[in-house]
Amino acid sequence: MHTIFFILSMLVAVVIANVVYRHYSKIPLPIYFIIFGVALAIFPLFRNFTLDPSLFILAVIAPLLYNEAQSASRYWIGRGAINIFSLSIVLVIFTVIVVGVLLHSIFSFIPLVLAFTLCAIVTPTDAAAVSTLTPKTEEYKIPQIIMQNESLFNDASGIVIFDLALTVFITDTFSVNHALSVFFIQFVGGLILGAVIGLIVRSILRLLIGLNDDTSFIMVSVELIVPFIVYFIGEELHISGILAVVAAGLVQGSERDNLGLVSSRMQLVRANVWEIVEEALSGGVFVLLGVSLPMVIKQITDQHAVLIWLLILAGFVLYIAKFTLRLLWTRYLVWMHKESPHRWTDSWIMAFSGVSGTISLSLAFLLPETINGHPFTYRPMLIFIATVVILASIVFAAVLLPRLTREEPVTNEQNPDAWLRKMIIAGIREISDDKEYPAEASIVVDTISQQLSQRRFRDSRLQRKIFLEADEAERKAVKELADQQKIGTTELHNYIKFLDLSLFTVSGNIWHNLFLRVKFGIHISRRRELSVGQNMLLTSPLISEQLYWQRVFELDKKDIHPIESVGFDAAMKAIEPFRHHKTSRELHVVQRYYRERHRRMNLPTPSNSVIYQLFLRAFHAEYEFFQQAMLSGDLPAEIAEQLQQHIVYDEMAYLQKRASFMD
């Protein structure tokens, strides 16, 4: 039970950290994860929590690398094979040896083998961090691609070297020939095993598609299971399970590319599921670091109070040495695919983009707590030094990469939100002037226009002010009807009471609304209209009032519809001056209330098929808008892709919830 609660708490911390980061992104997201993890460590349940290292690598590292491999570009992996070999294998080995020797010579209290182990921990680069921190411009596209491909394979290299170094420390024996043979067998054997299993899984998925069994549940479940099976088989055969997972992911990624539009719903679900899994696991690792950090620091200070400062210095020395090697290596030993006018800038970008992240943290937690039955006293020190390197790499990259690239500020023409707003307005204009189906058009316009003001807090005071302006104008218009003797005193009294109760309902709380629901239901039921009464009990109070007062007027042999039409026109005219950007959301809420009331009380019952046709017209108008913008060259391709995805998701949401648009 404690383990389940711990995992749920970490997920909550990951979610909260993501929310905070979206509103204040100056601090890198991993820092937020660590801060919330430290906050969790305050509670007794989290202070001494331990996780089985073998379970950790199976549950966290395997699925993360599998998803990274699936998402990698096979085209650029093929073109950059030389760079991948240079950065992911040769540079990793060179860094482990050179920096490891340097670290041991400066800080002699760290054994040489453990210095190698520590270097192996921090050499893998974080693909997610590379993607987030590297500039998204065509000018620096090549460095970003090189870094992403490197991050996929140097994870595996770092893990293999980590295993070798740790084995040497535990067994206290080392042979160059044995180490090279083990490295070769694990590396090549893992790749072959993963490729074979990947081909088998690909055949199974094709068979499922051929048998029309490619439901989202079946296909995505198979994909989620694969990395665990591949890793388990690899470890049982004493070859690299991690490399096997990477190879299987690459094979499966090629199959995903070949599917094209086949099983498209499954592919959309799959992408969303893997995005959630990756973000949860990546964030969870950093939260776990935050939870463990206070205990790690305490264990270090218990050994020696001054040791903590030496470890911080060791972390910075390790980071600077690793960074310097990357800078020189990427400048002179990396092929850029094409001539670059800013070659040194490319190298600085690739050096800063070598961010240590999720995999490095995962490897640090894989350090055993005991060796040969004795406590592994170096474990807290190694974890702490790795943490310093990770934090330094993240902070320096977040601060200095934007300065290197000098990205120009986003103009309105490059702002996705501005283009999205224009596109939605184009869809609304296509429908809003429809005179043939006013009820259906009102439903479609209200639904689509919600997107214009949804991503902003609603000012309840401003909304009430707008509603009061509309209500006052409607009362004035209805009283003028009475003064002109177009309606009688009873009609005026009943309609004003209807407005009073509507205002009371809009301004009231949940208990007021519940009271009105029961009241209207009982009143109608007493008139022996039980089915109507039951329906009202399950309907919102505002709709109940509209049904109730229509019925009151009918029983008095009066017609509420002309009165409501006059009131509707007056209310909508009165709130027109509020039509500006800062009041858009509040105005939309009030307008929607009046339009829905007018539709229910005055317009014909809407047709579901007509609503469907109007939604299609609106979506088609949105498509035409961004297609014209692309043809004219005004709309960047990246934003066009986002707009197209928006329309596709809107269409899917409508098809799944068609019934909810009829009330």
Local mean pLDDT, 10-residue blocks, the chain (663 residues): 76 91 82 87 73 69 82 70 84 93 93 94 75 61 75 78 86 74 81 91 85 82 90 87 86 68 66 84 81 81 80 94 93 78 84 82 83 86 91 85 65 70 84 78 80 66 87 92 88 86 66 60 53 49 66 80 90 84 70 82 78 86 85 79 82 69 51
Residue with tokens 């992996």: 77
Q: How many angstroms separate the Cα of 583 from the Cα of each of 449, 607, 611?
A: 14, 32, 28
Residue 477 near residue 566, CB atoms below 8 Å: yes
Pairwise CA distance, residues 191 & 199, whole Å: 12
What pairs with residue 371 in β-bridges? 374
pLDDT at position 146, please? 79
Sketch the domain layout of the chain as residue ranges.
50-408, 414-437+607-663, 455-606
pLDDT at position 145, please? 75
pLDDT at position 415, please? 75
* Secondary structure (DSSP) of 601-617: HHSPPPPHHHHHHHHHH
Closest CA to 629 of 485, 324, 422: 422
Closest CA to 195 of 156, 248, 236, 152: 248
Pairwise CA distance, residues 134 & 131, whole Å: 6
pLDDT at position 538, please? 45
Residue 258's CB is within 10 A of a number of other CB atoms, namely 10
pLDDT at position 129, please? 58
pLDDT at position 120, please? 93
pLDDT at position 127, please? 59
Whole-model pTM: value is: 0.70
CA dihedral 299, 305, 310, 316 (to 10 degrees): 60
Pairwise CA distance, residues 436 & 549, whole Å: 27
Residue 516 near residue 491, CB atoms below 8 Å: no
Phi and psi torsions of 570, nearest 5°: -65, -45
pLDDT at position 327, please? 92
Closest CA to 346 of 613, 531, 137, 511: 137
Residue with tokens 């500006």: 580
Closest CA to 125 of 353, 343, 336, 309: 353
Residue 379 near residue 369, CB atoms below 8 Å: yes
Count CA within 13 A, CB hemisphere, residue 416: 10
Element (H, E) at 371: strand 370-371
The 3 state secondary structure assigned to 272-325 is HHHHHHHHHHHHHHHHHHHHHHHHHHHHHHHHCCCHHHHHHHHHHHHHHHHHHH
- Assigned token pair, 132: 């987030």
Residue 10's CB is within 10 A of a number of other CB atoms, namely 25
Residue 129's CB is within 10 A of a number of other CB atoms, namely 26
Element (H, E) at 375: strand 374-375
pLDDT at position 523, please? 56
> Is 1.10.20 the CATH classification of the domain at 50-408?
no
Residue 526 near residue 461, CB atoms below 8 Å: no
